[in-house]
Amino acid sequence: MNVQFLGHSCVRITTGGTRLLIDPFLSGNPLAGAKADDLEADYVLLTHAHGDHIADAASIAVRTGATVVATFELAQYMRWQGAKTHEMNLGGSFRFDFGTVQMVPGFHSSGIVNEETKTIVYGGMPAGFVLTLEGKRIYHAGDTCLFSDMKLIAAKGAVDLAFLPIGDNYTMGPDDALTAAEWVQAKAVVPLHYNTFPVIRQNAEQFAAALNERGIRGIVLEPGQSTQL
């Protein structure tokens, strides 16, 4: 299984020939590891409705024919943009042909901001995803603070790879992300949601070193880089 970090919170996972794209924010992202028009996908998974997570979701889904997986409200919004969708909600699981997707809580906010009309469209509850692929458990936390129910994710077994935000200000910072990694019993962690903007600048290598001290493999990927799982 190939796991590629494309910048900010965007991750592409290729498993058994199926291409999953999570939270595509490439257009307007100064640190993007690819161009939206160059990406192919079979499924686009969205954790919540903020622009730095859905910016390219509709355009990629419409162009490639990918299915967008999101909360009921966000899936409806994507359907209005012409995308095929599979709607879910917190706590729910669905077995796709590539593996199982469970939508788990994230503590954040979620809305689509229209600067021209000065309106905000409610985007449903923010979420994370627990993916079971090729016998591995992968946790993408989306944007979230630290919350104690993360421990419930580990109740079904350790997480082989966790994608955790470390940027602080809008999400949990490195210290809380270390705790989150321990609570979900992550074997390895890739940090997300940092350095894209000045307010979320962090030292990812320092975070990875702190993980390693706790017996957790810290994997720092530059946008465009991949790792195997």
pLDDT in tens, 167-203: 999 999 999 999 999 999 999 999 999 999 999 999 9
Report how far apart, in Å, the C-alpha atoms of 146 and of each of 50, 76, 164, 182, 206 are. Answer: 19, 28, 10, 11, 19
Would 226 be classed as within a structural domain?
no
pLDDT at res. 102: 98
CA gap 60, 149 in Å, rounded: 33
**Domain range spanning residue 101?**
2-217
pLDDT at res. 219: 98
- pLDDT above 90: percentage of residues in the chain: 100
Would 228 be classed as within a structural domain?
no
Partnered with residue 86 across adjacent β-strands are 69
pLDDT at res. 74: 98
Q: At 103, which CATH number?
A: 3.60.15.10
Would 199 be classed as within a structural domain?
yes
Would 225 be classed as within a structural domain?
no
Which class for 207: exposed (0-12), middle (13-18), buried (19 or more C-beta within 10 A)?
buried
Q: Write the pLDDT tens digit of every residue in 14-59.
A: 999 999 999 999 999 999 999 999 999 999 999 999 999 999 999 9
Would 222 be classed as within a structural domain?
no
The total domain count for the chain is 1
Q: Write the pLDDT tens digit of every residue in 149-177.
A: 999 999 999 999 999 999 999 999 999 99
Would 128 be classed as within a structural domain?
yes
pLDDT at res. 208: 98
Would 6 be classed as within a structural domain?
yes
Would 224 be classed as within a structural domain?
no
Task: Judge whether 38 and 46 are in contact, CB under 8 Å.
Answer: no
Q: Across all residues in the chain, what is the average pLDDT?
A: 98
Q: What sign does the dihedral 220-195-166-126 (CA atoms) show?
A: negative
Identify the band that residue 121 occupies on the pLDDT scale cut at 50, 70 and 90.
Answer: very high
